[in-house]
Amino acid sequence: MKQKKLWAGRFSKQTAASVESFTESISFDWRLYQYDIEGSIAHAMMLARCKLITEPEKNAIVKGLKGILADIDAGKFEFKKTLEDVHMNIESALIARIGDAGRKLHTARSRNDQVSLDLRLWTRDQTQVMAGNLSALQKELVSKAKRHLGVIMPGFTHLQHAQPVLLSHYLLAYVEMVARDVSRLQDCFARLNKSPLGACALAGTTLQTDPLFTAKLLNFDGVCENSMDAVSDRDFCVEYAFCLSMIAMHLSRLCEEWIIWCNDDVKFIEISDAYCTGSSIMPQKKNPDVLELIRGKTGRVYGHLTSLLTLLKGLPLSYNRDMQEDKVAIIDAAETVQASVSILTEVVANTTFLAGRMLAAAEKGFIDATALAEYLVKKGVPFRMAHEIVGNIVRECIKVNCKLVDLKLDGFRAFSSVIEKDVYEVLGVENCIKNYKSYGSTAPALVKKRITYWEKKLNKG
């Protein structure tokens, strides 16, 4: 005998098996069970406070729900597809365990405000877990930055050698990026932190309830102001998916860069064997597959953001069943990015920076040309003229196949009479690094200060 549906009253036929399997969401929304139970306990407390259920009924409900929670945690609970979703699986189990008191739990509530509540509670937790994972990644980057203070690498624009920078400065750039991701998660949290409970199906209830009380119990900042908006709003899912997309994009940029950096010709880094994989045909290969997969999974995360926006764009108020699909997207996006952040943190910890190769690369070419132009500016030459003069000097060096620092003073003076012996104090990558001054630049003292700043900040949190 099939279990009767909680909504079976109006129906004269049993649901087709094909419909049951097409409409079920338990296969993915079971992940919300902890939040569903937490929300139901708060709801039961409110019902008792408003005398819609008795104290003994409330106690039976709370005890029953805690028992169900323990069973699910222990893997002893069977979720059934015939019961559609996490809400009805838990409610049915409660009724089976405690009888009539369980039948009162859904008073002044609908699955519409219930699912919105569960998803908000889940997203709220997720933003915090994600922020924690991101700060672990930041710590790893900062610790590498500290360990390698003094290592010089070529800084790139257009993927061409541009100006020398400290490796630590480069690593801290990602720390800043990730800090914005964390602050974006905090914004997302703040905006979603309103309780939808009390909205019921869409219009509220004629019963005397106390939504502020449940909101307080569940640590919300308040109650949604409009019941129709409360049950149809999934902005917070879209926002969270955007936060995740931005994180994934940042990770992907680092991965792309490090894939280039492990290339045999560039070889700025060596990733530990434990974090690379081999080729099934070419015995010599060691591939950065983890980085490639993080880059690849970014597409999947963007896809989820697009799904959510598309899912919502045609929905009239208020709740529509389409919205059940929101969970497929947001849960996978969250799990994907979570996994990516964790493994990237491990990769960073297990990567060796090849300082000698970085310095050698920086020393190739004319990476100190801008420093020479600025030297001329300090001697009173207008920048545009300085730029042209140095351009001419570089052309000469290419012709005679030497570096700027190899030119004799006379050679320089053939291009500009303001050049003196002190020109050699600005040439060469070490001098360039030493001479940076501006706020936020790669000047060693400033980079060191920023490392200290981040160390303090990240160890506080």
Q: Known catalytic residues? A: 158, 279
CB of 64 to ligand ARG, least distance (A): 21
Give the SS3 label for residue 264. coil
Question: Smallest distance, Å, CB 221 to ligand ARG?
Answer: 24
Residues in the chain: 461
Closer of 38 and 363 to ligand ARG (Cβ): 38
Of 174-182, 317-325, 380-388, 390-398: span binding ligand ARG (CB under 6 A):
317-325
CA distance 317 to 304: 22
Give the C-alpha distances (Å, rounded to integers) separating 255 from 66, 251, 302: 44, 6, 17
What does the longest C-alpha to C-alpha distance in the chain come to? 102
Task: Please report how close the Cβ of residue 108 comes to ligand ARG at its closest, in angstroms.
Answer: 16
Q: Is the Cβ of residue 116 or residue 345 nearer to ligand ARG in the bound state?
A: 116
Rank residues 5 and 357 by Cβ distance to ligand ARG and give the closer one: 5
Amino acid (1-letter code) at residue 80: K
Q: Mark residue 276 as left, alpha or beta (left: phi above 0; alpha: psi -120 to 50; beta: remaining).
A: beta
Which CB sits closer to ligand ARG, 81 or 253? Answer: 81
Encoded one letter per residue, x for contact with ligand ARG by CB under 6 A and - for no contact, window 189-228 reads ----------------------------------------
Query: Scanning residues 47 to 106, which ones bind ligand ARG (CB under 6 A)?
Result: 85
| Residues 418-437 contacting ligand ARG, CB under 6 A | none
Write the binding mask 276 to 315 for ligand ARG: x where contact by CB under 6 A, - elsewhere. Answer: ----------------------------------------
Nearer to ligand ARG, 115 or 188 (CB): 115
Q: Is residue 257 exposed (0-12), middle (13-18) or buried (19+ Cβ within 10 Å)?
A: middle
Distant-in-sequence, close-in-space partners of 1: CB < 8 Å, separation ≥ 6: none
Q: Are 86 and 186 in contact (CB under 8 A)?
A: no
Instruction: Tell me the three state secondary structure of residue 157.
Output: strand
Question: Interface residues for ligand ARG in 112-131 (CB under 6 A)?
Answer: 112, 115
Written as six digits, the tokens of 1 are 């005998």
| Rounded-to-integer distance, Cα 265 and Cα 352, Å | 16
Task: For the segment 8-27, give every residue that binds ligand ARG (CB under 6 A).
Answer: 25
- When binding is defined by CB under 6 A, the residue of 109, 111, 297, 304 that contacts ligand ARG is 111
HSE, side-chain direction, 13 A CA sphere, residue 170: 23
Q: Least Å distance between CB 120 and ligand ARG?
A: 13
Burial 66-95 (b: 16+ CB within 10 A, else e): eebbeebeeeebebeebbbbbbbbbbbbbb
Least separation in angstroms between CB 358 and ligand ARG: 51
Number of residues that bind ligand ARG (CB under 6 A): 10
Contact in structure between 175 and 454 (CB atoms under 8 Å): yes
Q: Does 321 bind ligand ARG (CB under 6 A)?
A: yes
Stretch that binds ligand ARG, among 111-119, 189-197, 203-211, 214-222 (CB under 6 A): 111-119
162 sits in which H/E element: strand 160-166
**Quick one: 73 or 322, whose CB is closer to ligand ARG?**
322
| Alpha helices, DSSP H, located in 314-381 | 325-349, 355-363, 369-378
Instruction: Provide the minimum distance between the beta carbon of 326 and ligand ARG in the complex, in angstroms, as a whole number.
Output: 7
Which residue of 123, 324, 340, 351 would you call a contact of ligand ARG, by CB under 6 A?
A: 324
**Which of 43/111 has CB closer to ligand ARG?**
111
Summarize as ranges the residues that interact with ligand ARG (CB under 6 A). 25, 29, 85, 111-112, 115, 319, 321, 323-324
